[in-house]
Every structure is written in C-alpha cells, then in structure tokens.
Amino acid sequence: MAMNENEQPGAKLRTDILPIDPTKIGKIVLRDDPESPLGEWDVKLDVITTDLAHMQRAAAQLKSTDIPVAFPTETVYGLGADATRSTAVRGIFQAKQRPSDNPLIVHVCSIQQLKDILCSNGSHESIPPIYQPLVRKFWPGPLTIILPNPKESPLAPEVTAGLSTFGARMPRSLLALVLIKLAGVPLAAPSANASTRPSPTAAEHVKDDLDGRIEIILDGGPCDVGVESTVVDGLTNPPSILRPGGISIEQLRKCPGWENVVIGYQDVSEKGIRPRAPGMKYRHYSPKAPVILYEAGAKRPSADIVRGYAHRRQRLGIIRTKFWPPACGLPIHSTDMEGIARGLFSALRELDKYGVDAILVEGIDDDEGDSAAAVMNRLRKAAEVRV
C-alpha cells in the first residue's frame, strides 16, 4: 500500500467521510443509442462544487495510490481499487483483513469497458451469448456475471484468486458509475466492511469497521437494495446461481436460456473448496453477538426462553419480520425490520451497538419476495444456532 513520505508501516490513516449529492456532480450524456444505458457515455461535469471536488479527490486517489476508496452502490457500500494493479488490489485485502483466496468482483461503467478487458492484447473474447438477455434486462443493476478471464488479462491476478474466470458487474448507482468513469479503470470492489462483519449499507457502517485503514468514504446515503448482487454462472450447463442477491431466481427464469437455472450455493460456509464467487467459503455477515435464527414456520421463542436471558442478566436483541409481536410480547428492546432486505445488516449492527449478548431473529420464507433467498442466505451464514 502506498504511504505518505512520513508515514510509517502500520500507521493509522485519517478516515474522512465525504458527503456526495449525485444531483450536484453532473449529467450523463449517451454517445450512441439514447434508449440503451449500456453503450458508451460521457459525464458532463458541473462547475466545481464541493460534491464534484469530493468525487475528483476519490478518483485521483484510485489512480495514484494503493489505498482503496469506499463508495456507495445500490446494493451495499463497496471498497474499490484499480482492478489492473496488484498493489492496489492487495490494499483491499489488507484493509478488510480478507483471505486472499476469496475472489473479487470487477465493477465497470460501460459495456465497452468490459469488452476492453475481454479483448485485451489481441484477444477476441466477447460476452457469451447466454448473458445477453440478462445484461439487457438487469444492467446496470445488482447482477454479477462470471466470465472467462483472458490469457493475457489486464486484471491483477489477486482479483481472480487464481481462478480462470472473473465476476463482472455494472452498478446502477450513478455515483458509482461516475467514480469508475473518472478513475478511468475498472474497480475491484468487495463490500466495504471488515471481513466476516455485516455488510455496510450506510457510510457510518464503513467508518465503524474501517476507520484508520482507509482515507476516503464517499457518503451517498443509504443503499437502496441492501444485500449484495446476485452472482450467476452461465458458463456451466445448466446455468447456476453462485450467490443469491438483489435479482431473484424467479426473475432470472423469465429470461431466455435461464429457464432451468439451478442453485449452486449452500446456506453454510463451504469449507475446503476454492470459492467460485464471493460469499461461498467463509463465514460472513456476522455481528459480534451470537445469532439464533428461527426459520420460517418455527415456533417463536417462548417467554421462558426470553426471561432466561434476563435472569442471567444478559441483554437480548430481537429482530422481527412479520409474525412475532414486538419483543416477543415482553418489555425489552427489539428491532423491527421494515424493508427486510434493506434493514437486515443495519439491524444486526444496531444491536451490536446496544451491547446485546445474543440476537434472536425471525426468519422469512425463501420464496417470499425478490430478496428473500438472499436475506435468508445471509442470516444462515451469520447464525450460530438455527431453530
């Protein structure tokens, strides 16, 4: 990681939260088909505003240093670095304290930028036809596709963790798209949290985990989706979902070629494997307090169970979703997840701040909504006990 002249190895960095209003950055101007968000486009920048100056400062850091930048997407906050430079990508692993065999997703701002990766050094690779319906329907958006990595790839080898493939996504967030455009390079960007912690859906969550490890957090407000992107592999037959996320299996099955897409992930950490996508191998999404997950349909915790924690002078947090009464009918603190996907990670972090000794969570049915499978996947990976 690049350091200032007088900075010592391991020295704590000053972490600034820089507020950004996307409406005060500029406008996107499409070069080609005005009906398509996937072609080449330019940013018509506003006269210098504080918001634009913050964006330019972040882009300059991405270009010239190895210190990653935290920024919002529509899913969760990401921790970005130049995906083409090994030293920059290693800065992500260092800041997150993330295992190096866990691959990273490459974020692009246009189809052309993705084609530049696939067709580098004379290669004639292109986006496989199986993905065309998904790209047209879901990009920009919360969907990551697995692609073959060219033999002489411009991507740093740390991005793929030794795999012959890489994951690519075009985020829907205007702020994220403009940042990538200003940086002039694709960004490797996992979630901007410490490894194994709940993913960050607000700038203060990033600050809680990475204060002193990075210098810039771009604050664009809370994330819309609240869970990471869906990761799909169309290079297998049948195609598979490697990680559930903001696009559901039902949405995918409505696309030509994806009618028989299968689930290729487990709701537990898959130890002893080389992960093909982020979130497959290691324990993730965990607060400090142990999580006890009650699956959909399970009997809610009895008053005796709840009182048992009180008798041991333990603080108990409760996350309810649909059917449990507040605090399971007892006068204790609880959190109600309005907008379950958007509130999941925030609720876990909020209860950590209360210093609770355990968290009881009311689960939902995997088929209940577009993000239900993603929510339950995260909760099952966070849980120490499932009922």
The reply, when asked if residue 6 is annotated as ligand binding, is no
- CA distances (Å), origin 105, targets 191, 206, 289: 10, 18, 29
Residue 15 is assigned to a ligand binding site: no
According to the annotation, is 126 in a ligand binding site?
no
- 191 near 76, Cβ under 8 Å? yes
CA distance 127 to 191: 25
- 100 carries a ligand binding annotation: no
Q: Is 64 annotated in some ligand binding site?
A: no
Tell me which amino acid residue 320 is. R
Residue 86 marked as a ligand binder: no
282 annotated as a binding-site residue: no
Per-residue pLDDT of the chain (387 residues), as tens digits, is: 444 433 444 568 999 999 999 888 887 777 766 555 556 777 788 778 899 999 999 999 999 999 999 999 999 999 999 999 999 999 999 999 877 778 999 999 999 899 999 987 666 678 999 999 999 999 999 999 999 999 889 999 999 988 999 999 999 999 999 999 999 999 999 999 998 889 999 999 999 999 999 999 999 999 999 899 999 999 999 999 999 999 999 999 999 999 999 999 877 655 555 566 665 655 567 888 889 899 988 888 887 777 776 666 578 888 888 888 776 666 555 555 456 777 888 888 888 888 888 888 989 888 877 788 888 998 898 887 788
Which residues are 214's β-sheet partners?
211
Domains detected in the chain: 16-219 (3.90.870.10), 291-386 (3.40.50.11030)
Q: Is 4 flagged in the annotation as binding?
A: no
At residue 214, the 3 state secondary structure works out as strand
102 appears as a binding residue in the annotation = yes
Encoded tokens for 375: 């929510």
Contact 238, 259 (CB under 8 A): no
Query: Is 294 annotated to bind ligand?
Result: no
The position carrying tokens 């960095």 is: 13
Q: What burial letters (b/e) apply to 79-116, b meaning 16+ CB within 10 Å?
A: bbbbbbbeebbbbbbbbbebeeebbbbbbbbbbebbee
Ordered strands of the 230-233 beta sheet: 16-19, 216-219, 69-72, 77-82, 187-188, 105-107, 165-169, 143-148, 230-233, 240-243, 262-263
